């Protein structure tokens, strides 16, 4: 596994191109010259070039993740923009949006500028999401307009849900003027009431405080109604329950600018998996029942949920190697993402691979207003090369994140990211 600068002439030869933006699949070679797409199709091979054999492989757009935590500034012991970028490239991601729950939080124009400036040297594109409220305390609205001018692509208080409906309304009204979505962590804090996992039979048997699905669905319902009332954009993060899916599906029948995401871990696990007391499975919102998991899969297939986002949340060993009730919420997920979702959605749930790729590429890009037509000559190359049929076992060797809090270690994956090309760099995901 290595990150390198790409050569002046790099040819991706013999692969199958999946273009999710134009919904096309075809066989072609790709010539990347000086970091940009120069030719697609059949062409004369330059005298001096590097060739990557892509026979039997898929060449597609670089993945885009709307929900990651890179912890910088303030908790560089967990993750940095640099280590997070490597984790992203290992997972096929060329573009990510970082959440504002840093220390201090991204709640000023200056903090947004800091991220944008520091990210200039990263091998991927990093976009900051600004906090809705100052200090993420849910009381005073931030300078959203100025933060947007500095580069904030959306607004969220992330793991600190906006409990005050009046504040949420104001945030939505401001965001409407700016033209970006509000992303509210959809949990009613009074209803989740310190719960450590999904409230149900399993939590009772394990003796762990439960967090009911009602905590999520109640907040989703409020936020959807507010967004509809002020005619603003709303993006629902990490949907976890069948109740929330039903609410989103109903609202989408008469409101176009509602979008939602689901994480790989909510698609892969159910609450029965927590019987091991694996603290890496302690996440917010919690892993729910098999019925909820099946509902999430169906929602991805029918378009109710628009994209996949990892909610990559690095934590130290000290945060996780403790009793379940004391462990911190969150898991990493960039490096394992494709192997997980390809297994669940394509191999087990019969989703078309092109559709799955669109959920990782063009769909999240369109939600955030990023360019989504990436196979255009002269475009800076953002390309992911995958083997969609490769079986492999996820291990610590595959993790480039500074933190190792993954529940997938030792799990069988289906489909592997082999190369990621971004900003004139190539990540070779090969373990010797």
Which residues carry out catalysis?
A: 311
**How many angstroms separate the CA atoms of 182 and 96, rounded?**
17
Half-sphere exposure at residue 355, Cβ-oriented, CA atoms within 13 angstroms:
13
Closest CA to 209 of 326, 313, 311: 326
> DSSP code of 252?
H
The residues, any chain, with a CB within 8 Å of residue 236's CB and separated by 6 or more, are: 183, 184, 186, 220, 223, 224, 244, 248, 258, 259, 260, 261
> DSSP code of 402?
S
**How many angstroms separate the CA atoms of 75 and 385, rounded?**
32
**How many angstroms separate the CA atoms of 195 and 286, rounded?**
9
| Strand duo 24-33 + 36-41: pairing | antiparallel
- Strands of 300-411, DSSP E: 307-308, 382-393
The residues, any chain, with a CB within 8 Å of residue 288's CB and separated by 6 or more, are: 198, 213, 240, 241, 266, 270, 271
The residues, any chain, with a CB within 8 Å of residue 380's CB and separated by 6 or more, are: 35, 36, 37, 423
Provide the phi-psi class of 223: left if phi over 0, else alpha when psi is between -120 and 50, else beta: alpha
What is the enclosing helix (H) or strand (E) of 90?
Answer: helix 81-90
Closest CA to 310 of 70, 22, 120, 115: 70
| Strand duo 307-308 + 258-262: pairing | parallel
What is the enclosing helix (H) or strand (E) of 247?
Answer: helix 242-252
Please report the sign of the dihedral spanned by the C-alpha atoms of residue 417, residue 77, residue 309, residue 283: positive
3-state class of 93 per DSSP?
strand
């Amino acid at each position: 596994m290595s990150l390198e600068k790409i050569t002046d002439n790099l040819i991706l030869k013999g692969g199958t191109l999946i273009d999710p933006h134009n919904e096309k699949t075809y066989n072609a070679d790709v010539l990347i010259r000086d970091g940009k797409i120069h030719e697609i199709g059949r062409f004369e091979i330059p005298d001096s070039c590097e060739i990557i054999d892509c026979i039997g492989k898929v060449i597609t757009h670089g993945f885009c993740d709307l929900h990651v935590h890179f912890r910088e500034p303030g908790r560089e012991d967990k993750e940095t923009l640099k280590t997070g970028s490597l984790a992203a490239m290992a997972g096929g991601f060329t573009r990510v949006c970082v959440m504002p729950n840093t220390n201090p939080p991204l709640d000023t124009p200056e903090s947004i500028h800091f991220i944008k400036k520091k990210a200039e040297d990263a091998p991927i594109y990093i976009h900051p999401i600004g906090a809705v409220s100052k200090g993420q305390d849910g009381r005073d609205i931030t300078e959203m307009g100025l933060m947007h001018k500095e580069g904030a692509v959306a607004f969220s208080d992330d793991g600190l849900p906006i409990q005050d409906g009046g504040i949420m309304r104001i945030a939505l009204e401001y965001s409407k003027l700016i033209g970006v979505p509000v992303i509210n962590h959809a949990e009613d804090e009074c209803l989740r009431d310190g719960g450590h996992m999904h409230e149900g039979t399993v939590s009772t048997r394990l003796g762990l405080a439960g967090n009911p699905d009602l905590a999520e669905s109640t907040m989703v319902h409020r936020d959807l109604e507010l967004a509809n009332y002020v005619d603003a954009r709303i993006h629902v993060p990490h949907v976890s329950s069948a109740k929330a899916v039903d609410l989103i599906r109903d609202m989408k029948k008469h409101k176009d600018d509602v979008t939602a995401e689901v994480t790989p871990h909510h698609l892969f696990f159910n609450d029965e998996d927590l019987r091991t007391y694996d603290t890496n499975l302690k996440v917010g919102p919690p892993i729910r029942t098999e019925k909820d998991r099946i509902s999430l899969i169906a929602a991805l297939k029918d378009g109710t949920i628009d994209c996949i986002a990892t909610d990559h949340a690095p934590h130290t060993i000290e945060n996780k190697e403790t009793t379940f009730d004391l462990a911190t919420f969150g898991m990493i997920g960039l490096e394992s993402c494709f192997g997980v979702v390809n297994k669940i959605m394509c191999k087990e749930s019969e989703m078309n691979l092109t559709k799955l790729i669109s959920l990782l590429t063009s769909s999240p890009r369109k939600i955030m207003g990023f360019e989504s037509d990436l196979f255009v000559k002269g475009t800076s190359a953002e390309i992911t090369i995958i083997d969609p049929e490769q079986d492999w076992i996820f291990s610590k060797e595959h993790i480039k994140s500074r933190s190792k809090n993954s529940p997938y270690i030792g799990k069988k994956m289906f489909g592997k990211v082999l190369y990621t090309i971004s900003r004139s760099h190539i990540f070779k995901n090969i373990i010797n």
